[in-house]
């Protein structure tokens, strides 16, 4: 890996900080697409695409951008308990949102667009819980 790229990556041990940065980067793309088009968000809420309007998409984009900031910050401050906890909660909120939209509100269907946030949020949540003592106790 080039020295130039390496200087911008988190310096903490393990892959979790890099993962946080990857997820944050993907979230920035997702947020930007929510500001520019309804198509991908309508695919996410495939059982109720008529409820996806420009205002809802921008609000969802802002929520996603906020999550990206939290996770990017966590990538570089992974040993700080408060930051780590907030990042965990950001994944729990995302998982809860998509679970409720799938099972309670029924605006989502189990397809590719909704599987992605389920996989990312659940794996990240589990990974962060398992690695909690490794990262937080290294203060």
- In angstroms, the CA 106 to CA 118 distance is 15
Q: Kindly report the three-state secondary structure assignment for every residue of 112-126.
A: HHHHHHHHHHHHHHH
How much is the pLDDT for 138?
Answer: 61
Contact 113, 40 (CB under 8 A): yes
CA 26, 102, 34, 82 torsion-angle sign: negative
Domain ranges, ordered by start, for the chain = 14-136
Contact 98, 41 (CB under 8 A): no
How much is the pLDDT for 76?
Answer: 95
139, pLDDT greater than 60: no
How much is the pLDDT for 11?
Answer: 81
Q: What is the pLDDT of residues 58-111, one digit of tens each?
A: 999 999 999 999 999 999 999 999 999 999 999 999 999 999 999 999 999 999
**Which H or E run includes 21?**
helix 16-36
Q: pTM of the entire structure?
A: 0.91
- To 10 degrees, the CA torsion angle through 126, 92, 24, 1? -10
How much is the pLDDT for 86?
Answer: 98
How much is the pLDDT for 100?
Answer: 97
How much is the pLDDT for 19?
Answer: 97
Quote the mean pLDDT of the chain: 94
Mean pLDDT of 46-61: 97
CB atoms within 10 A of CB 107: 18
């Amino acid at each position: 890996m080039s020295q130039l790229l390496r200087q911008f990556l988190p310096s903490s041990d393990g892959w979790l900080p890099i993962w946080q940065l990857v997820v944050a980067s993907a979230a920035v793309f997702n947020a930007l697409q929510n500001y520019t088009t309804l198509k991908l968000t309508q695919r996410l809420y495939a059982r109720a695409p008529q409820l996806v309007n420009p205002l809802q998409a921008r609000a969802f984009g802002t929520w996603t951008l906020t999550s990206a900031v939290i996770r990017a910050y966590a990538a570089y401050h992974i040993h700080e308990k408060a930051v780590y906890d907030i990042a965990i909660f950001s994944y729990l909120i995302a998982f809860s949102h998509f679970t409720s939209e799938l099972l309670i509100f029924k605006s989502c269907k189990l397809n590719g667009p909704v599987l992605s946030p389920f996989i990312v949020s659940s794996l990240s949540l589990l990974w962060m819980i398992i690695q909690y003592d490794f990262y937080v106790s290294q203060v």
